[in-house]
Amino acid sequence: MIQLHPDCLMFQINGGQSIPCSAELVTVELIGEAAGELDPEVIRNAARAVLHYFKVELGRTFVSVGEFSRALATVLRAFGLSVTPDSVEPARRITEFDLRELACGPGKLFELNFFPRLRDELRHQLTQSPHILRFTGLRSCVKQLIGARRWTDRCQRLDDQIVEFLRRCLTAEPGAGGCSLVVL
* Gyration radius of the chain's alpha carbons: 20
Q: pLDDT tens, 137-164?
A: 999 999 999 989 999 999 999 999 999 9
Question: CB atoms < 10 A from the CB of 16, how many?
Answer: 6
Q: For residues 52 and 72, give the distance between their C-alpha atoms in angstroms, rounded to a whole number.
A: 12
Rounded Cα distance between 133 and 95, Å, is 5
**135 pLDDT band (50/70/90 cuts)?**
very high
What pLDDT digit, counting tens, does each position of 28-86 carry?
Answer: 556 665 556 666 777 777 777 877 787 777 777 777 777 777 787 777 777 776 665 44
Domain ranges of the chain: 8-90, 94-183
